[in-house]
Structure 1
Amino acid sequence: MRSLKFAVIGLLTLVVAACRTVPVQNVTSQPFPADVTKLSMAQIEESIIKAAGDRQWIVQHKSDGELIATYSPRTHVAKVKIDFDQSAFSIAYVDSSNLDYNGTSIHYNYNRWVNNLRQDILREVSARATLAN
């Protein structure tokens, strides 16, 4: 009887551990601080690339106001599109591997990585705008 309890507890632990996916959270029209309007599009792009690079995201310029960023810690890969203008930016899911993406949900770490990227972009762009004054 005791080993049956341990087997059930072990099975429940595995089920809970496997359910580590959450809905994908994109960043939509995140406004920059007001003083960022003094920066050119090129300066904003450079700031976004620096912020992403500081977190080991690999960034590719796709077109004016559009970047593709890839993050690949260990065996996981997350790819996002960063759209921006002089007033706001967005981060949207593009692709992933080994993150259990099913069309709506993804491994819970993905949202943390994107939120860290969002915060770092805001911080870097704001710092650059302050220096431009």
Structure 2
Amino acid sequence: MKLIKLVMLFVGALYLSGCTSTAIVNLNNEPIVTNSAVSTEQAIIRGCKAKGWTAVVADKNTIDAYITVRSHKAHVKITYDDKFYNINYVDSTNLDYNNGSIHRNYNKWIYKLSASIQQQLNQ
């Protein structure tokens, strides 16, 4: 009986360690430095490029950004105004999206993208 419990515990631990999904992070109202020497649009585009994202100006104050890492793809929409920018999930491929959950690497990419944008805004 102890052996069965031990095996069940081991299988459960393996299952949980294999879980890679987490809730999608959308970043909203990220502050924009008002005394930036570059335009917000240019800072976002440069920040995307620095982290391997392709940025496409979609509309006034809207940029679509895409990243491909091996067979994994993500698409986000970055909207902005004079004071804030937002990064919101649009679509993905091979990132196990399901009902608001996604592979944990996606969120890491988003945080790194935002940090890169902030770095460009602070120059």
TM-score (norm: length of structure 2):
0.86
Matched, 1:35 2:43: no
- Between the aligned residues of both structures, percent identity stands at 30
Q: Contact 2:34–2:82 (CA<8 Å) still a contact in 1?
A: no
Runs of 4+ in 1 over 3 A off after TM superposition: 3-14
Query: How many Å separate the matches in 1 of 2:6 and 2:92?
Result: 36
Query: How far did residue 11 of structure 1 move?
Result: 3.4
Which sections of structure 2, spanning at least 5 residues, go unmatched? Answer: none
Query: How many Å separate the matches in 2 of 1:59 and 1:14?
Result: 39
- Equivalenced residues, count: 123
- Which of 110, 113, 116 aligns to 1:117? It is 113
Query: How far did residue 19 of structure 1 move?
Result: 1.3
After superposition, what is the alpha-carbon deviation per residue over 1:41-77, rounded to whole angstroms, capped at 9, x for unaligned? Answer: xx22111111101111011110010000011111111
Query: How far did residue 12 of structure 1 move?
Result: 3.5
Q: Contact 2:22–2:103 (CA<8 Å) still a contact in 1?
A: yes
Query: How many Å separate the matches in 2 of 1:84 and 1:11?
Result: 46
Say which SS state the counterpart of residue 16 (structure 1) adopts: helix
- The corresponding residue for 1:99 is 95
Query: How many Å separate the matches in 1 of 2:71 and 2:8?
Result: 31
- Cα RMSD for the two superposed structures: 2.1
Q: Which has the higher strand share?
A: 2
Query: How many Å separate the matches in 2 of 1:10 and 1:99?
Result: 26
Query: How far did residue 18 of structure 1 move?
Result: 3.2
